[in-house]
Amino acid sequence: MYRSGGSLPRPAQTRIMVVANQKGGVGKTTTTVNLAASLALHGARVLVIDLDPQGNASTALGIDHHAEVPSIYDVLIDSRPLSDVVQPVRDVEGLFCAPATIDLAGAEIELVSVVARESRLQRAISAYEQPLDYVFIDCPPSLGLLTVNALVAGAEVVIPIQCEYYALEGLGQLLRNVELVRGHLNPRLHVSTILLTMYDGRTRLASQVADEVRSHFGAEVLRTNIPRSVRISEAPSYGQTVLTYDPGSSGSLSYLEAAREIALRGTSAQQGVPQQDQHNPVKGAQ
């Protein structure tokens, strides 16, 4: 069990962060698990909810997720308590995962006929009684009912953007969905964090994309860029995050710094949060 020596400020209430981008291959799952591990290594209690039927976040955290394992599917479809499916991550103290199984692939269709289908995940998280500082929800690369459940449950949207051509293509629809959910189902929802991934400082294209994203989104973009890294790509095949696979690598250090930015931003943002946003049914860790 690994834990870093340092610590970061812990939020006054649980921060529920939805990691979303319907474009595949942008580092969404990689960002989810490595930010979560980074915060846990610095003393936070963090839950990763794997909402992608491929189960890549579960794999990267070394969590068993074959078809018979209790999973987030059972929570969404059968109203099973979230506490029944959450597993501790072996390598990182304070990090937990609600795994996805292949059953989740059919959940989009099954949810259509379910009462209050958009808020199943929100109710499950609200009923979860263990203290948590952060919940990270890894969404599938689509804008269907699973992603809508995540957007209804969360308060903050984290968008990883790959530093390659057409980086901003398709983001308009995601942002429109965020606005729709905020207007009709979850007034607390907002895009809080944009993270540039797969950054290659040797290419002019990467710096051009970074400049474009920063001019488009402004303050939401983290100062830290995540580099293109073999170590980051290798780690999931060993059932690990890059933080435990190669703690001294550039990818590991970048995710630690990105997590630090997120933690510090949350602390400062809480000074100006409206009163209704201060309340969260998930109990904040003391």
Residue 282 lies in a domain: no
What is the H or E stretch that residue 88 is in? strand 87-88
Strands 190-197 and 95-98: unpaired
Alpha-carbon torsion 170, 112, 106, 132, what sign?
positive
Residue 63 lies in a domain: yes
Tokens of 259: 């997590």
Tokens of 174: 């995601």
Tell me the residue type at 110. E
Contacts of 215 by beta carbon, 8 Å cutoff, 6+ apart? none
Query: Is the pTM here over 0.75, yes or no?
Result: yes
In this structure, are residues 139 and 31 in contact, taking their beta carbons and an 8 Å threshold? no
- Eight-class DSSP state of 221: B
What's residue 24's pLDDT? 82
Residue 279 lies in a domain: no
What's residue 6's pLDDT? 65
Residue 135 lies in a domain: yes
Q: ∠ at Cα 82 (284, 244), nearest 5°?
A: 70
Give the CA dihedral 30, 31, 37, 40, nearest 10 degrees: -160
Dump pLDDT digits (tens) for 214-238: 998 999 999 999 999 999 999 999 9
Residue 194 lies in a domain: yes
Name 49's bridge partners.
Answer: 98, 137
Residue 5 lies in a domain: no
- Give the pLDDT means over successive 10-residue stretches in the chain (286 positions): 66 96 89 97 96 95 91 96 97 96 92 92 96 96 92 97 86 92 96 94 90 92 95 94 95 97 79 39 40
Tell me the residue type at 31. T
Q: For residue 42, which of 90, 1, 88, 10 has the smallest C-alpha distance?
A: 10
Which CATH number characterizes residue 232's domain? 3.40.50.300
Dump pLDDT digits (tens) for 163-212: 888 888 878 889 999 999 999 999 999 999 999 999 998 899 999 999 99
Residue 129 lies in a domain: yes
Q: Beta-carbon neighbour count of residue 143 at 10 Å?
A: 17
Strands 134-138 and 46-50: parallel
Q: For residue 261, which of 212, 227, 220 has the smallest C-alpha distance?
A: 220
Name 194's bridge partners.
Answer: 159, 221
Range of the domain at 123: 15-267
What's residue 7's pLDDT? 78
Residue 62 lies in a domain: yes
Please give the Cα distance from 204 to 129 (Å, whole number).
49
Domains of the chain: total: 1
In this structure, are residues 227 and 250 in contact, taking their beta carbons and an 8 Å threshold? yes
